[in-house]
């Protein structure tokens, strides 16, 4: 069963997350389908892609599929994790990707939205950074995705509280490009897409890559990187990490003991 829909009108591609039963959780199957669609659009000469959920959803995406998170002894967000592959695919896709947001956005899906080039949201949308709710030690490139889109104080507030922020506040903070009433979401998103599609694709593609390269350019020594990885290993091997996942799967509140 397919978990996404794919459509192309002229040079505008659309990928629709379509697994409402699981609130569009970013399972490896759903992510493989999105990545395949992005590749198909490159081959088909699309000039812009809109990443959306089905009209009227309450949840755009509930984030990483918690059932696919390792219980311990393995980095939950390592290089080959599906979520990591999807964020890189969005950044490396030569044409702009517009996140068209209706409903709430959680965890890894919030990073996916921030990795998109432009974010258009409806007024009732919310955005939440959730690792602290599950005990997950988010990874460096994932936090960098957030830092490139969100002021550091706001990233810290969202990451440490794990509480959603409203679309209007996200717009005031520059996290979201446009916030519109739900009935204007499509017109606004596809209006931006049409403006982009009529411009020079080679110029846009190279500026997208230049901007991403500049945004991701950071000095971090191998020694510092290895120290961070060691710290993260302690966290994803902790009892709290296992408790966070078990509590989610058992639909109960977690009890974190700091060990």
Catalytic positions: 64, 108, 138
Minimum CB distance to ligand YXS smaller for 127 or for 190: 127
Does position 164 bind ligand YXS by CB under 6 A?
A: no
Pairing outcome for strands 48-53 and 97-101: parallel
Task: Please identify, among the stretches 47-55, 85-93, 132-140, 192-200, the one whose residues bind ligand YXS according to the rule CB under 6 A.
Answer: 132-140
Beta-bridged to residue 165, according to DSSP, are 127
User: Number of residues in contact with ligand YXS, rule: CB under 6 A?
Assistant: 21
Whole-number minimum distance, CB 9 to ligand YXS, in Å?
A: 30
Pattern 66-85, binding to ligand YXS, x per CB under 6 A? Answer: xx------------------
Task: Please identify, among the stretches 5-13, 134-142, 166-174, 185-193, the one whose residues bind ligand YXS according to the rule CB under 6 A.
Answer: 134-142
Whole-number minimum distance, CB 170 to ligand YXS, in Å?
A: 17
Task: Please identify, among the stretches 8-16, 99-107, 112-120, 186-194, the one whose residues bind ligand YXS according to the rule CB under 6 A.
Answer: 99-107
Phi and psi based region of residue 214 (left: phi greater than 0; alpha: psi -120 to 50; beta: remaining): alpha
Whole-number minimum distance, CB 54 to ligand YXS, in Å?
A: 14
Check if the beta carbon of residue 23 is closer than 8 Å to that of residue 61: yes
Check if the beta carbon of residue 33 is closer than 8 Å to that of residue 2: yes
Question: Phi and psi of 181, rounded to 5°?
Answer: -60, 150
Does position 236 bind ligand YXS by CB under 6 A?
A: no
Site for ligand YXS in 6-25 (CB under 6 A): 22-23, 25
Does position 106 bind ligand YXS by CB under 6 A?
A: yes
* Helix ranges (DSSP H) in the chain: 28-43, 82-92, 108-115, 131-134, 140-149, 152-161, 167-172, 185-197, 201-215, 222-236, 239-249
How far is residue 201 from each of residues 7, 43, 92, 95, 204, measured CA to CA in Å? 20, 14, 14, 7, 5
Calpha distance 195→215 (Å, rounded): 24
Check if the beta carbon of residue 241 is closer than 8 Å to that of residue 72: yes
Task: Please identify, among the stretches 84-92, 128-136, 179-187, 205-213, the one whose residues bind ligand YXS according to the rule CB under 6 A.
Answer: 128-136
Using CB under 6 A, which of 52, 64, 178, 208 touches ligand YXS? Answer: 64
Question: Phi and psi of 190, rounded to 5°?
Answer: -80, -20
Calpha distance 207→210 (Å, rounded): 5
Residue position matching structure tokens 């509280």? 161
Does position 65 bind ligand YXS by CB under 6 A?
A: yes
Minimum CB distance to ligand YXS smaller for 104 or for 188: 104
Residue nearest to ligand YXS (CB): 107
Binding site for ligand YXS (CB under 6 A): 22-23, 25, 58-59, 62-67, 104, 106-108, 130-131, 133-134, 136, 138
């Amino acid at each position: 069963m397919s978990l996404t829909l794919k459509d192309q009108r002229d040079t505008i591609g659309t990928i629709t997350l379509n697994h409402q039963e699981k609130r569009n959780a970013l399972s490896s199957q759903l992510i493989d389908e999105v990545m395949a669609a992005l590749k198909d659009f490159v081959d088909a000469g699309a000039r812009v892609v809109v990443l959306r959920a089905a009209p009227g959803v309450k949840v755009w995406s509930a984030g990483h599929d918690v059932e696919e998170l390792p219980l311990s002894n393995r980095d939950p967000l390592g290089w080959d994790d599906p979520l990591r592959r999807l964020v890189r695919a969005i950044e490396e896709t030569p044409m702009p990707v517009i996140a068209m947001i209706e409903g709430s956005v959680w965890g890894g899906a919030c990073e996916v939205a921030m990795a998109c080039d432009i974010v258009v949201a409806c007024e009732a949308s919310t955005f939440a950074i959730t690792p602290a709710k599950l005990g997950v030690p988010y990874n460096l490139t994932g936090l960098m995705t957030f830092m490139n889109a969100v002021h550091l104080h706001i990233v810290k507030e969202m990451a440490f509280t794990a509480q959603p922020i409203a679309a209007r506040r996200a717009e005031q903070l520059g996290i979201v490009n446009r916030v519109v009433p739900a009935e204007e979401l499509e017109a606004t998103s596809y209006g931006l897409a049409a403006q982009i599609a009529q411009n020079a694709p080679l110029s846009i593609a190279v500026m997208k890559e230049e901007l991403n390269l500049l945004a991701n350019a950071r000095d971090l020594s191998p020694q510092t990187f290895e120290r961070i990885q060691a710290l993260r290993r302690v966290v994803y091997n902790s009892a709290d990490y296992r408790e966070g996942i078990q509590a989610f799967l058992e639909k109960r509140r977690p009890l974190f003991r700091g060990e």
